[in-house]
Structure 1
Amino acid sequence: MRITGAPAHTAPQLVHAAAYHSSRTDLLAQLVPLVEHALVRDERVALALHPDTEAALRTELGAGAPLHVLAPPTEAGSGQTVALQRGRELRELTRDGPVTVLTEHQSELDGPDGSFWTELDAAVNVALAELPVRLTCFFPELPLHQCVLDGAAENHPHVLVRGGLHPNTRHRAPREVLTAHPVAPPLLLGVPDVTVSFRSWQLQDVRRAVRSLAGAAGFTDDRTEDVVLAVNEVATNAVEHGGPAAELHVWATGGGLVCEVHDTGALADPLPGMASPHPSEPRGRGLWIARQLCDLLHVWSDDHGTHVRVRAAP
């Protein structure tokens, strides 16, 4: 697998704005001119909208409008994972120049309390920071969960008002937002198929357990090594920064492997491994590499310590 980071000269270029709408009609009235202006600038336009909104927008613009539809979230419960997924896709789209991205809040992704959107937008600010992207996120004025609006207000440096961008005085740094609004834990799983307690000199036991289950689950040799490397990076981070001892849980499922690493340390950075490391940085690459190799990598913390869930398909 080829892993590439950001060019050393790349400066942050993301323009991230929140916008609000009172109805589908109001939403379309704001979307249409944004698309038209982007096309006049000869920019590509990428969408992450509700299917009904997308269909109405295409009707307004005409069938020939060149619109790219971003892939739907593969793991809606993890804003970290969705942000990385968007970052990979937009990295390819921006090879030919700036891209205008328009997204819409979709209530079916809210989860139990709507905090998914706060995590997603905070993670986007880190994962997309280096890309020439104009990203405008549309939210309803009255969502089901108030935290959707609170997160939108804190995560976006700009606000779209009557077609113009204005500075957002409530904006805060993404890690500050998530420190104040911690990431929720994912749904609990059943009893793991394998549990390994380990310390720094026992990382070979972690690698051995993952390699054995991956082989039994039908992973190719190359894919097995990807997953072993990813889990090893997470486990190494746990015993280096989280305390002398940690624990690995592994589940073999019909869709591949789920691995969790638990340690008793405090989580200093709520978004570890989200930004591609600078080539001159000798450390801090482990979790970033692991995120590139897995289908999901979700980090959260609680009173018991720091936890990382990794999911990988064959």
Structure 2
Amino acid sequence: MRVENTRSGRWVRLQHAAAFHRSRTDLVDQVLPMVLDGLRGGTPVALSVDPATESAVQRELDGTAGLILLSRPDGPDGESGQTLAARRARELRELVSATGRPLIVINEHTSRLDGVDGTFWTELDAAFNIALAELPVTMTCFYPELPLHREILDGARRNHPLLAVRGEMAHNPHHLAPREVLAEQPAPAPVLLGPPELRLPFGAWQLHDVRSAVEDALLSANCPRERAEDVVLAVNEVATNAVEHGDARAELLIWVTDDGVVCEIHDAGSLRDPLPGLQAPHSSNPRGRGVWIARQLCDSLHVWTDDRGTHVRMRASP
């Protein structure tokens, strides 16, 4: 797999706004002028909204009318907010490259992704602020005025530099930098898995053993050789970080599942950056690439910390 790092200095970078709606009708009434203004001005418009909202907008436009439909997230049990942000950044980089234009992006909250407390959305928006920072994207995230979890509204107010009120953008006085937000609400641990097929303690001199163990697991899961090489590279980058910047000793856990392989790297070190590897490193910077590369190569990558240290879970399908 070829990993590309594209940055653009030609346009204004990420403009990230929150907006609130009372009902589906109110939501569509707010979204439609944004879509029409973008399309009339020649700006591509991309939607990540509920199917009912998408259908209502298309009816008003008499079809897709040039709309771009983004992939929908699987939710907090399938992927974390940081994983979705990394995936969305890849998707939008490709669109910017393909269209040669800035983008308008409209997101809609859906309660299906709330999880137990709504913190999925706080992590997602904080991660968006890092992963999309260099992209020429104007993104408006719509939330209900009365969601099930208060954290959803609190997170929306903390994460968005701008507020969109009936099409007008205003400064948000409650906005915090993403790392401040995640200091208050750290990225959660993922769902627990059963006993691993392999548990391998390692240090800097055992990285070859890590690579071999991951390769064996991938090949046993019928992963093609080229794909296996990509995933081995991803796990090696994270494992190297663990022993270089975390603790002298770390641990690899591997699960082989019906749809691929899951690897976890654990070390006892602390993590200064709560969401590493979300922003593409500058081409002139030789360091800080490991986790970013791993995020590009894995289907999902989630980083979290607790009182035992720093943990990274990577999931890869064949």
TM-score (norm 2): 0.96
Query: For the residues of structure 2 that align with 1:88 and 1:281, how far apart are their CA atoms?
Result: 20
| Residue number in structure 1 paired with 2:171 | 167
Query: For the residues of structure 2 that align with 1:46 and 1:267, how far apart are their CA atoms?
Result: 34
Query: For the residues of structure 1 that align with 2:208 and 2:282, how far apart are their CA atoms?
Result: 29
| Residue number in structure 2 paired with 1:86 | 88
Query: For the residues of structure 1 that align with 2:150 and 2:59, how far apart are their CA atoms?
Result: 32
Moved over 4 A (4+): 8-12
Percent identity (aligned): 57
Contact 1:119 1:178 in 2 (8 A): yes
Deviation by residue 1:249-285 (Cα, 9 ceiling, x = unmatched): 0000111100001111112111100011001112110
Contact 1:102 1:136 in 2 (8 A): yes
| Residue number in structure 2 paired with 1:139 | 143
Q: How many residues align?
A: 314
Query: For the residues of structure 2 that align with 1:9 and 1:115, how far apart are their CA atoms?
Result: 33
Q: Does 1:243 align with 2:247?
A: yes
Query: For the residues of structure 1 that align with 2:8 and 2:171, how far apart are their CA atoms?
Result: 28
1:82 maps to amino acid: L
- Residue correspondence of structure 1 range 123-202 to structure 2 within 5 A: 123-202=127-206
Q: Does 1:214 align with 2:218?
A: yes
2:31 maps to amino acid: L
Contact 1:242 1:266 in 2 (8 A): yes
- Taking only aligned residues, the RMSD between alpha carbons, in angstroms, comes to 1.4
| Residue number in structure 2 paired with 1:37 | 37
Contact 1:75 1:296 in 2 (8 A): no
Deviation at 1:163, TM superposition (A): 1.6
SS in 2 for 1:265: coil
1:206 maps to amino acid: V
SS in 2 for 1:225: helix
SS in 2 for 1:83: helix
- Residue correspondence of structure 1 range 253-272 to structure 2 within 5 A: 253-272=257-276
SS in 2 for 1:223: helix
| Residue number in structure 1 paired with 2:52 | 52
Query: For the residues of structure 2 that align with 1:286 and 1:64, how far apart are their CA atoms?
Result: 39
Query: For the residues of structure 1 that align with 2:188 and 2:216, how far apart are their CA atoms?
Result: 31
Contact 2:8 2:136 in 1 (8 A): no
Deviation at 1:64, TM superposition (A): 5.0
SS in 2 for 1:249: strand
Gaps of 5+ in 1: none
CA change 1:111–1:75 in 2 (3 A) is closer
